[in-house]
Structure 1
Amino acid sequence: MNASRYNTRTLLLEVIAILLALVFLAPFYLVLSNSVKTLKEILLDAASFPSLFHWSNYSDVWSMIDFPKAFLNSLQITGFSVVLIVILSSMAAYQIVRRPTKFNNFVFLLLVAAMIIPFQSLMLQLVRVTSLLELRGHLYGIIACYLGFGMPLSVFLFHGFIKTVPVELEEAARVDGSNPYGVFFRIVFPLLMPIIVTVIILNTLWIWNDYLMPVLVIGGNKDLTTLPLAVTKFFGQYTKKWDLALAGLVMAVVPILIFFLSLQKYIVEGVTAGSVKG
């Protein structure tokens, strides 16, 4: 009787899990199927399977938005921003953990408090500050903004993980004659690899797919157009080219999706290691 109840309950849970999976996978089906349809076919029945695969949508998008250039811009902005966030936030968190002075603790509280401030409430001030400092329309300007907004969460994650690093390893390195930078980059930094990968994944997903920040900071500089900005080219005041827009969306998502699937296991590993042990 117990086995029967267990099997029935398990079967019910499996059915519910499958139904939930289908619900979450439905948007992926709509995007993929409609990306190879004509606009007329999409408007008639967006949920139907394509009667004929129009792969020309992808080639049209490639040339219309100059996909290689937009891809390179997104790659540059994401790469430089993530590297700086990882290095600076790990160093800041290490200083806060190993030297818990009142000032350092106050800085940490400010960083944690910054995590709860909605970005939308800062957009007007961001435009004014970037214009005043002449950061708008420049590569270093958008990278500086991502660095500022990405530091709070990254420092918080590093802060919890660094607590798990034994202080004895650092003391042994100092006895051997290593300076503070040598202790950090040769001893501590390699031990942070699980949380480093987590920070890289989270910030890469955010920066790669972000739309608001490039609109506000890059502005009308077409030389720095990112993939999210390029895809908006297919949405006009009176027309919406859904066939091309969805094809462009697939082309923009595939690289970051492959990146995420290859490293997703480190997210749970890094976050749990920093929260449970710390």
Structure 2
Amino acid sequence: MKKNNEKRNLISLEVFGLLLGLIWIAPFYLMIVNAFKTKRDIFTGVLGFPKEWTIGNYIEAFIELEFLKSLFNSILITGLSVAVIIIFSSMAGYALARNKSKLSAVMFFVFVAAMLIPFQSVMIPLVALFGQANMLNAGGLIFMYLGFGCSLSIFLYHGAMTGVSKSMDEAAIIDGANRFQLFWRIIFPLLKPISVTVGILNVIWIWNDYLLPSLVLSEANATIPLKMFFFFGQYTKQWHLALAGLTIAIIPVIIGYFFAQKQIIAGVSEGAVK
């Protein structure tokens, strides 16, 4: 009797998992299948297969997106922004965790409280201020990402520092290391799991961000999300090209994941064990 109940529970879990998998994969199915249809076929039937499979949508979308140029802009802005966030946030988290003064506690509270401030509340004055400073460009955008991304990142690094013994600092200083060498050669390598977490969170956010780049970047420096908007006009929506463009846009992300999956899984696993 007990074995039968366990078997029924296992079958129920498998069916539930299968349903969840189908729900998760449904948007990808709709995107990929409809990307091979003409505009008329999409409005005729969304769920079915194309009457005639065509790759013309991909070719046109690739050209309209200026894909290689917009891909380079996305990679450049995302890569530099995440690198800057990790560098400055890790140093700030280390300094705030090791310094036990009241000022340090107040600064940490300010960083944590900043996570509650929505971007929309400071959007207009921020853009106006950067416009007066002639910083409405890729460099200014990276600086903005540092400001908006460092609060959560510092909070995570500060928490991770509680698991790093202060005796390591003392031993390194006795051996003749200065603060810079101590952090980058000893402390920062120990923070690899949380650095992977911070990197993943910020890459997802920055790579897919539309609002902030739309306020700052010119058309020449447009990222992939900005270019995708051009398929949706005031009076018409080119769904066949938009879906083809979305399919092309996720390919670099998938390729990047396959190359970095060992580091991502190792970093997340180490963080979970700690």
Give the TM bin, normalised by the shorter chain: over 0.9
Alignment pair present for 1:77 and 2:77 = yes
* 1:222 counterpart (194, 219, 231): 219
Shifted more, 188-197 versus 127-136: the winner is 127-136
Deviations 1:193-221 (A, max 9, x none): 11111111111111111101101121xx1
Q: Pairwise mapping of residues 27-176 of structure 1 onto structure 2 (< 5 A)? A: 27-136=27-136, 138-176=137-175
Name 1:212's counterpart in structure 2. 211
Name 1:265's counterpart in structure 2. 265
Which TM-score applies when normalising by structure 1? 0.92
Give the Cα–Cα distance (whole angstroms) in 1 for the partners of residues 247 and 241 of structure 2: 10
Deviations 1:7-58 (A, max 9, x none): 1112112211211221121111111111111111111111112233211211
Name 1:13's counterpart in structure 2. 13
Q: Pairwise mapping of residues 171-210 of structure 1 onto structure 2 (< 5 A)? A: 171-210=170-209
Shifted more, 126-135 versus 165-174: the winner is 126-135
User: Which amino acid is 2:13 matched to?
Assistant: L
User: Which amino acid is 1:55 matched to?
Assistant: I
Give the Cα–Cα distance (whole angstroms) in 2 for the partners of residues 188 and 82 of structure 1: 19
Alpha-carbon shift at residue 75 of structure 1 (Å) = 0.8
SS at match of 2:37: coil
* 1:241 counterpart (238, 241, 265): 238
CA contact (8 A) 2:196 2:268 kept: no
* Alignment RMSD (CA, Å): 1.7
Runs (5+) with no aligned partner, structure 2: none
Alignment pair present for 1:3 and 2:3 = yes
User: Which amino acid is 1:44 matched to?
Assistant: T
CA contact (8 A) 1:198 1:266 kept: no
CA 1:43 to 1:252, structure 2 compared with 1: closer, same or farther past 3 Å?
same
User: Which amino acid is 1:240 matched to?
Assistant: K
Deviations 1:202-255 (A, max 9, x none): 11111111101101121xx12211000011111111111111111111111222
CA contact (8 A) 1:205 1:256 kept: no
User: Which amino acid is 2:233 matched to?
Assistant: G
Deviations 1:87-127 (A, max 9, x none): 00000000000112111111111111111222222222322
Shifted more, 102-111 versus 114-123: the winner is 114-123
Alpha-carbon shift at residue 266 of structure 1 (Å) = 5.0
Give the Cα–Cα distance (whole angstroms) in 2 for the partners of residues 124 and 260 of structure 1: 35
SS at match of 1:172: helix
Give the Cα–Cα distance (whole angstroms) in 1 for the partners of residues 26 and 264 of structure 2: 21
CA 1:16 to 1:61, structure 2 compared with 1: closer, same or farther past 3 Å?
same
Give the Cα–Cα distance (whole angstroms) in 2 for the partners of residues 170 and 251 of structure 1: 48
User: Which amino acid is 1:201 matched to?
Assistant: I
CA contact (8 A) 1:157 1:271 kept: no
Name 1:231's counterpart in structure 2. 228
Give the Cα–Cα distance (whole angstroms) in 2 for the partners of residues 268 and 180 of structure 1: 28
Give the Cα–Cα distance (whole angstroms) in 2 for the partners of residues 109 and 260 of structure 1: 35
Percent identity reads: 44
Alpha-carbon shift at residue 132 of structure 1 (Å) = 2.8
